[in-house]
Chain A
Amino acid sequence: SQELEQSPQSLIVQEGKNLTINCTSSKTLYGLYWYKQKYGEGLIFLMMLQKGGEEKSHEKITAKLDEKKQQSSLHITASQPSHAGIYLCGADRGSEKLVFGKGMKLTVNP
Chain B
Amino acid sequence: EPEVTQTPSHQVTQMGQEVILRCVPISNHLYFYWYRQILGQKVEFLVSFYNNEISEKSEIFDDQFSVERPDGSNFTLKIRSTKLEDSAMYFCASSRDRYPTGELFFGEGSRLTVL
Q: What residues make up the interface of A, taking CB atoms closer than 8 Å to B?
A: 30-31, 33, 35, 40-45, 48, 50, 88, 90, 92, 94-103
Contact = CB atoms under 8 A, between A and B. Distances in A.
A94 B100 contact: yes
B89 interface: yes
Given A30-B100, A40-B89, A43-B91, A98 B107 contact: no
Interface in B57-115: 58, 89, 91, 93, 99-101, 103-109, 111
A96 B105 contact: no
Contacts, number: 59
B103 A96 contact: no
Nearest to A43: B106
A35 B56 contact: no
Contacts of A88: 43
B108 A41 contact: yes
A101 B99 CA distance: 18
B43, B91, B105: which has the most chain A beta carbons within 10 Å?
Answer: B43
